[in-house]
Amino acid sequence: AQTVTQSQPEMSVQEAETVTLSCTYDTSESDYYLFWYKQPPSRQMILVIRQEAYKQQNATENRFSVNFQKAAKSFSLKISDSQLGDAAMYFCAYRTGTGANSKLTFGKGITLSVRP
């Protein structure tokens, strides 16, 4: 079974600075997808960024980028120019690429606070 590990329970960043959230995963599969979701106090999970395992190029979405190290099974999220609205819980998630509509497996999450 696949597992996703987020070992940092909390992180804090100064507004306008850069922060990196760590995630590692364990799988024997070669075809899979990785995601970072944001969960604000409203509880709704919001997709931040997605990475296909077969792509070597790291995904980027505006201020959000990932460092995907397939051999090391590492998938970290970098937030640049942090904003107060970035404060939330962030979850790393894994999804197998084989078979239609497989489930997401989530890590325990990390609480990010942004200092003004």
Partner 1 sequence: GAGVSQTPSNKVTEKGKYVELRCDPISGHTALYWYRQSLGQGPEFLIYFQGTGAADDSGLPNDRFFAVRPEGSVSTLKIQRTERGDSAVYLCASSLRDRVFSGANVLTFGAGSRLTVL
Binding site for partner 1 (CB under 8 A): 4, 6, 31-33, 35, 37, 42-47, 50, 52, 91, 93, 95-109
Q: Is the Cβ of residue 28 or residue 116 nearer to partner 1 in the bound state?
A: 28
Dihedral sign (CA 28, 34, 39, 43): negative
- DSSP output for 12-43: EEETTS-EEE--EEE-S-SSEEEEEEEE-TT-
CB of 109 to partner 1, least distance (A): 5
CB of 92 to partner 1, least distance (A): 9
Strand partners, 12: 113
In 3D, which of 89, 115, 114, 105 has the Cα closest to residue 9? 89
CB of 107 to partner 1, least distance (A): 5
Q: Is the Cβ of residue 88 or residue 93 nearer to partner 1 in the bound state?
A: 93
CA distance 47 to 39: 9
Q: Is the Cβ of residue 52 or residue 65 nearer to partner 1 in the bound state?
A: 52
Q: Is the Cβ of residue 3 or residue 12 nearer to partner 1 in the bound state?
A: 3
CB of 98 to partner 1, least distance (A): 6
CA distance 18 to 55: 25
